[in-house]
Structures are given as C-alpha cells and as structure tokens.
C-alpha cells in the first residue's frame, strides 16, 4: 500500500507593488501600482488624471512615508496647490517639509530648434536632481503630450519616449505618467501604452443625461488584476474607485441577534430576530407598511443604545418623523439624542455612484450599527436595472464587511404572477426576505406578512395578517375558515361565529352542570330518606331484639325460680310426698 504524500511547492515570487492609498484602486490592482516601474494614466479631458497623480503622491507621503516629485508641464505649482486644496491636500506644507518637490517645466515649441541630436537630456538632469534632493520614491509626470509637442519628427519622438521610460525604470522610482486619449488609440502617440508596465484608462461618459466616470486596467505586467470597468468618483476626499464586490468572501460574521422591533414578528423567526450584520429585504406593493416596518426596526435599534443611519428617498425627515409618530413610533427622540441620523434626498440628486460614495462617507463618519434604505426601488430612476443591481451588490457587500445590519425596502408591481420578484434582482443576495402584500377579501383589502427566506435559522411559513394601529404594527392570530385562512371582515365573522359557538357550548355545559347538580341533590335527598327509613327500621329491629332479649331473660329467670322451688327441703310435721292417702 502506497502512502499519498502532498508535495510542498515553494511560494512563487510576487511583483513588488506600491500602494496608492486611493480607496478601491489598491483592491482592484491587488496591492497597488508596480514598484519602480512606470504606470500610464490615460483619458479624455475632465477624467481626473492629474488629480489621481497628485493623490498618489500625497497618499504616499502621508500613509507610507515615501517622498515624491511632481513635474507638471501645463500648470504651475501655485495653480496645482490651489486646485487640490479643496480636497484637503496641502502641497505647500509638504514642500516646506521637504517631502514633495513640485517642478513646472514650460515647453514652447517655438523656442525649440530641432536638430538630429535633440533629446531630453536636460529633462533627465532636472528630474534626477529633484528626485535626489528629497530622496523621492514616487514621481508624477503631467502630462506627456506637452512634453513631446515639440517633436514633429516621429522617429525622434518614439525614440525619446522609449528612453524616458527606460530612464525612469533605471532610477527605480514608481512613476505615474498622465496622457491624453488619442483617436483610435489610448494615447496621442500610440506608443506609451506599449512601453508602460501598467496602463489605466479613465473614461467620462454621459448616459441618459447622467454623467458617469469609469476606470479600467488595460494591462498590468506581472500581476493579475480586476478586468472590469469600475465606477469612480471625485469627491471632497479625493478619488474613490468602486469595485463591483470584494475579491473574496472572507468577512467575519456575528451570531448576535437583532430584533425586528415587532415582538410578534420576532416570534416568527427561530432565533427571534435577524443576525447582526445580515441584510434584510422587505418587498411589497404600495401601501403595505414597508416604511413602518423599517421605522420600527430603526426605533428598536436606537432604543437599545445603538446607532442607525436612515436613508429616505420619498419623505423628508420631518414628514417621516410626523407620520411615524401617528403610529406610536417616536423617531424624533432618537434624532435628538444623536442615535438616529436621517438622510433624505431624491435619487435624481446624484448618480448611483455618488449615492454609494455618500453612504460610504456617512458610514465612516457616523459609525452606525444598522443602515435603513427606503426604498431601493427609486434608484432605478437614475440608472438601468443592471447598474442598480451592481450598485446594490457593492452596497450589500460593503455593509456585510463592516458588520452593519442592512434593512432595505423595495416596491414591487402588483401585476402578474411574479409579485414576489424585485425589479432590482437583489433578493438572492440578501439573507432575510420578508414579503408584505394585499390580501383581498369581499369588498376590502387587508395586509399580510410572510417570511420567504431567512438564512441560518428556522422561520414560520404562515401568512400572518397585520394591522397598523396607534401603537405600532400588530400581527393578528391566524384564523382558519372552511376554505383556509380568513382575513378582515371574514375574520371578524369567523371570530363571531366561533365566539357564538363557544358561548353556546359554554351555556350547554352550564345547563348540564345544573342538571347534574339537581340530580345530585335529588339523589342525596333520596339517600337521606332511605337512610332515615333504614334508621327507623333499624331502631324498630333493635327494639324488637331488646324486647325479645328481655322476654327471654324473664322466661329464663322464671324457669330458674321454678327449678329452685322443686328442690326445697321438707318441714317438720309435714307429711312426706307419697305417704298420704293411706
């Protein structure tokens, strides 16, 4: 018998990388840009190429202690510092601390006298001095078109481009080079993308009057990377790249249980609530109290001293708190205490990515334990279904990784047979799915609730009718009629009928109890009469027995006396018996 042995293969070497510090970019590049090699950032005007390069330098200085050099060919140092100051980047302070070197190189074609020996040797000397003066590890060249605008000779131009990239590699600095988008190629010259070790394409497009920026890694030598188009945003904190989802599903989970806010609904779950950090979806047609369910959940979270972030896309904060107060849910006290934060806006205020970035920012600022979005359906107004599904996938993944309980509501169409399917198509992604619906009866509509799924725990399979009262949502007990579960007026009629039957049964039972009591009393009276009669007979028999005993005793006494009289002795002078008559 041979033993199976597992050979241990040595770990393969990985490409050294320099993390950018840009949110999301390090995730899709699996660690950052190639260390000591040039990276090309290309795109049309307004894509944020310069901003990405500046943030790469600033994050490298602040987060990783790597000084940098910014060589600009279009904007002066003062202009660059003013442009990025609104993002919190203080370039002047970094320059004063000898951590950043900004050098503006003005290239004027009219001043260039092209000869066969013309090259970029002067630029190399200037850039080399800037690198050595602060010990720079990172370099940004913005933009390369301005540098090569003075090269009409294509042969010289292509030679100098290759020499520039080779020189940067030899210096061992991690370089970001920005370039403008060309016609039919990634760059104007069509050569930079071939000699670069990493190429990132930025795109700024308008779809249905909504602007969306996209980022794609065209190539990355020596490393795997994300290959999709990823939305990115330019916000007050810099650039944020939004991957579709995490590369690996390795987030930790919690076994703690979070209440739904409705005790009767908790009873329908095997563990009396949701898992902390899970995602919950409530779907239903209009008017089925989805917002009330969400508000009850938020109220319970805050009542336990935890924080809740509530996104409302249909009601203002004042309208929401007023409406919920009418059903006994006081959200205003939690807003006042700071445990509840309500963010209300129309979905059309921003694009999908902006909504996602706003949520990311607020989660980092507010640090909530739960997030409520009511409803997610309105996001379809600012994107198509596939884009909304992608955005919600990223959102659910982000909240799961952060161990934040997510509560979503969604409006579904009441037409057709697929009333339980959501338009966003995220029902398969959530952990718990609750369906609320209209239960139509004879001339009336009622509300019903059921749990379609709840991962990791048992749950009820009943459809429970519920009502919205002045003290919140109340789930009613299930009432079965001849044809199944009855609701509304039929429920009331069924309950009245059952009550009448119960009353009749109770009255019949009481009548039988009274009849039994009467018969018991009659029987007890008969028993008493028989006992009295028995006692009389018994007394008479006792008397007869006593009289007989007395008579017998008297008779016995008489006999004894008679017997005694026959045995008396004779008196003197009296004749003896048998001697008379001679």
Residue that finishes a domain, picked among 210, 241, 272: 241
Instruction: Please state, in angstroms and rounded to a whole number, the distance separating the CA atoms of residues 490 and 497.
Output: 10
Instruction: Identify the domain boundary among 241, 270, 300.
Output: 241
Same domain, 226 and 292: no
569 band by pLDDT with thresholds 50, 70 and 90: low
What is the pLDDT, as a whole number, of residue 7? Answer: 42
- Give the separation between CA 114 and CA 519, rounded to whole angstroms: 133
Residue 129 in domain: yes
Q: What are phi and psi of 39, to 5 degrees?
A: -120, 135
Q: Does a structural domain hold residue 572?
A: no
* Residue 247: partners with Cβ closer than 8 Å, 6 or more residues away: 27, 30, 226
Q: At what angle do helices 385-401 and 352-366 cross, to 10 degrees?
A: 10
- Which SS3 state, helix, strand or coil, does residue 38 take? strand
Q: How large is the C-alpha radius of gyration of the chain?
A: 49
Q: What's the CA gap between 103 and 126, in Å, rounded?
A: 9
- Higher-pLDDT residue of 391, 520: 520
The verdict on 222 and 358 lying in the same domain is no
Kindly report which listed range (360-364, 532-536, 560-564, 566-570) carries the lowest average pLDDT score: 566-570
pLDDT digit string, tens, across residues 215-238: 889 889 888 888 878 878 787 778
pLDDT at 357: 73
Same domain, 485 and 468: no
Residue 421: band (very low, low, confident or very high) from pLDDT cuts 50, 70, 90: very low
Comparing 444 with 376, the larger pLDDT belongs to: 376
Predicted pLDDT at 313: 85
Is pLDDT of 496 > 80?
no
Ramachandran sector of residue 309 (left: φ over 0; alpha: ψ -120 to 50; beta: rest): beta
| pLDDT at residue number 57 | 93
Whether residue 484 sits in one domain with residue 466: no
Q: Which of 436, 274, 289, 451 is nearest to 374 (CA)?
A: 289
- Same domain for 467 and 505, yes or no, is no
pLDDT at residue 495 in the model: 65
Q: How many domains does the chain have?
A: 3
Mark whether 474 and 485 lie in a shared domain: no
Residues 473 and 491 placed together within one structural domain of the fold: no
User: CA 381 to CA 232: how far, in whole Å?
Assistant: 20
pLDDT bucket at 4, cuts 50 / 70 / 90: very low
Task: For residue 70, name the pLDDT band (cuts at 50, 70, 90).
Answer: very high
Looking at per-residue pLDDT, the higher value among 385 and 41 belongs to 41
pLDDT of 116 over the 60 cut: no
> Out of 270-274, 411-415, 420-424, which region has the weakest mean confidence (pLDDT)?
420-424
Per the domain annotation, does 544 fall within a domain?
no
Interval 151-174 mean pLDDT: 80
Highest mean predicted confidence (pLDDT) among 2-16, 331-345, 412-426, 521-535: 331-345
How far apart CA 28 and CA 243 sit, in angstroms, is: 7
Task: Tell me the pLDDT band of 581, cut-offs 50, 70 and 90.
Answer: very low
In this predicted structure, what is the pLDDT of residue 33?
A: 92
**Model pLDDT, residue 368:** 94
Given pLDDT bands bounded at 50, 70 and 90, which one contains residue 389?
A: confident
Q: What is the pLDDT of residues 168-187, one digit of tens each?
A: 888 999 999 988 876 666 66
Pairing of strands 370-374, 340-344: unpaired
Two structure tokens written together for 579: 């001697």
- Of residues 267, 266, 274, the one with CA closest to residue 404: 274
* 126, 16: one domain: yes
Asked if residue 190 is part of any domain, the answer here is yes
Q: Burial, 526: exposed, middle or buried (Cβ in 10 Å; 0-12, 13-18, 19+)?
A: exposed
111 pLDDT more than 50? no
Q: pLDDT higher for 308 or 379?
A: 308
Count the neighbouring beta carbons within 10 Å of the beta carbon of residue 316.
Answer: 12
Lowest mean pLDDT among 45-54, 325-334, 566-575: 566-575
**Residue with structure tokens 């260039």?**
112
Tens digit of each residue's pLDDT (9 = 90 or more) over 309-338: 999 888 889 999 999 999 999 999 999 999
Q: Name the percent of the chain lying above pLDDT 90.
A: 26
Residues of the domain holding 492: 480-523
**Does residue 7 come out as left (phi exceeding 0), alpha (psi in the -120 to 50 range) or beta?**
beta
pLDDT at 1: 40
CATH code, domain with 6:
3.40.50.300
Residues 290 and 406 in one domain: yes
The pTM of this model reads 0.65
**Which residue, 39, 31, 266, is CA-closest to 141?**
39
Domain boundary among the residues 447, 478, 509 is at: 478
Distance CA 248, CA 401 (A): 11
Q: Does 383 fall in a domain? A: yes
Same domain for 453 and 322: yes
Between 290 and 412, the higher pLDDT residue: 290
Task: Please give the share of the chain, as a percent, with pLDDT higher than 70.
Answer: 78
Does residue 472 have a pLDDT over 50?
A: yes
Helices (H) and strands (E) in the chain, counts: 15, 24
| Residue 5 confidence (pLDDT) | 42
Least confident stretch, 5-9, 75-79, 115-119, 399-403: 5-9
Is 31 in contact with 187 (CB distance < 8 Å)? no
- Please enumerate in sequence order all residues whose Cβ is within 8 A of that of 330, keeping only pairs 6 or more positions apart, or say none: 299, 324
Q: Which position has the higher pLDDT, 14 or 110? A: 14
Task: Verify that 439 and 301 share a domain, yes or no.
Answer: yes
199 assigned to some structural domain? yes
Q: Is 434's pLDDT higher than 80?
A: yes
**Residues 261, 353: one domain?**
yes
In three-state secondary structure terms, 442 is coil
Least confident span in 19-28, 37-46, 50-59, 177-186: 177-186
Across the range 91-101, mean pLDDT stands at 91
Cis peptide before 143 (omega within 30 of 0): yes
Residue 125's contacts (CB-CB under 8 Å, 6 or more residues apart) are: none
**Residue 391 above 90 pLDDT?**
no
- At residue 308, the pLDDT reads 95
Contact present, 485 and 478 (Cβ < 8 Å): yes
Give the torsion through C-alpha atoms of 348, 351, 353, 357, to 10 deg: -60
Confidence of residue 578 (pLDDT cuts 50, 70, 90): very low
pLDDT of residue 6: 42
Establish if 561 belongs to a structural domain.
Answer: no
Q: CA 484, CA 219: separation in Å to the nearest integer?
A: 63
Burial 101-139 (b: 16+ CB within 10 A, else e): bbeeeeeeeeeeeeeeeeebeebeeebeebbeebebbbb
Q: What is the band of 113 on the pLDDT scale with cuts at 50, 70, 90?
A: very low
Would the CA dihedral through 69, 70, 76, 82 be positive or negative?
A: negative
Q: What is the average pLDDT score of the chain?
A: 80
Whether 252 maps to a domain, the answer reads: no
User: Buried b vs exposed e over 371-399: b needs ≥16 C-beta within 10 Å?
Assistant: bbbbbbbbbbebbeeebbbbbbbbbbbbb
Mean pLDDT of the region 394-419? 77
With a cut of 60, say whether residue 112 has pLDDT above it. Answer: no
């Amino acid at each position: 018998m041979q033993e199976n042995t597992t050979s241990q293969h040595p770990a393969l070497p990985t490409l050294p990388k320099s993390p950018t510090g840009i949110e999301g970019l390090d995730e899709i590049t699996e660690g950052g840009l190639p260390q000591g090699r040039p990276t090309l950032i290309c795109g049309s005007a307004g894509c944020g190429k310069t901003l990405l390069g500046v943030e790469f330098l600033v994050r490298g200085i602040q987060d990783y202690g790597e000084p940098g050099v910014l060589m600009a060919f279009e904007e002066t140092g003062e202009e660059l510092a003013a442009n990025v100051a609104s993002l919190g980047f203080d370039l002047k302070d970094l320059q004063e601390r000898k951590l950043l070197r900004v050098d503006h190189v003005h290239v004027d074609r009219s001043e260039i006298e092209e000869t066969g020996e013309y090259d970029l040797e002067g630029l190399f000397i200037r850039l080399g001095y800037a690198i050595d003066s602060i010990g720079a590890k990172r370099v940004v060249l913005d933009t390369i078109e301005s540098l090569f605008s003075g090269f009409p000779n294509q042969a010289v131009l292509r030679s100098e481009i290759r020499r520039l990239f080779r020189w940067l590699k030899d210096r061992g600095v991690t370089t970001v080079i920005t370039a403008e988008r060309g016609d039919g190629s990634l760059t104007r010259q069509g050569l930079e993308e071939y000699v670069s070790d990493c190429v990132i394409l930025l795109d700024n497009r308008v779809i249905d009057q909504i602007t969306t920026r996209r980022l794609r890694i065209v190539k990355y030598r020596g490393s795997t990377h994300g290959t999709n188009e990823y939305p990115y945003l330019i916000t007050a904190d810099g650039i944020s790249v939004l991957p579709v989802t995490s590369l690996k599903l390795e987030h930790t989970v919690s076994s703690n249980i979070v209440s739904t806010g409705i005790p009767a609904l908790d009873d329908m779950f095997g563990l009396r609530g949701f898992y902390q950090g899970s995602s919950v979806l409530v779907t239903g047609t209009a008017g089925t109290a989805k917002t009330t369910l969400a508000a009850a959940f938020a109220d319970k979270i805050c009542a336990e001293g935890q924080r809740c972030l509530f996104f409302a896309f249909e009601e203002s904060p004042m309208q929401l708190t007023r409406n919920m107060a009418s059903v006994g849910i006081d959200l205003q006290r939690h807003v006042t205490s700071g445990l509840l934060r309500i963010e209300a806006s129309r979905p059309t205020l921003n694009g999908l990515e902006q909504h996602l970035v706003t949520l990311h920012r607020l989660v980092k600022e507010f640090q909530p334990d739960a997030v409520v979005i009511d409803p997610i359906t309105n996001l379809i107004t600012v994107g198509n279904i596939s884009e909304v599904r992608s955005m919600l996938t990223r959102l659910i993944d982000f909240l799961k990784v952060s161990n934040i309980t997510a509560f979503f509501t969604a409006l579904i169409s009441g037409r057709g047979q697929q009333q339980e399917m959501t338009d966003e198509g995220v029902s398969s992604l959530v952990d718990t799915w609750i369906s609320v619906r209209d239960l139509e009866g004879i001339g009336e509509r009622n509300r019903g609730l059921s749990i379609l799924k709840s991962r990791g725990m048992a749950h009820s399979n009943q459809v429970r009718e519920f009502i919205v009262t002045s003290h919140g949502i109340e789930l009613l007990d299930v009432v079965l009629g001849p044809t199944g579960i009855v609701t509304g007026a039929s429920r009331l009629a069924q309950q009245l009928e059952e009550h009448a039957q119960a009353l009749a049964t109770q009255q019949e039972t009481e009548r039988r109890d009274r009849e039994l009591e009467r018969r018991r009393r009659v029987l007890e009276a008969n028993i008493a009469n028989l006992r009295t009669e028995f006692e009389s007979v018994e007394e008479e028999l006792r008397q007869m027995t006593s009289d007989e005993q007395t008579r017998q005793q008297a008779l016995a006494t008489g006999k004894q006396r008679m017997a005694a009289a026959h045995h008396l002795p004779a008196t003197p002078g009296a004749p003896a018996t048998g001697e008379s008559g001679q």
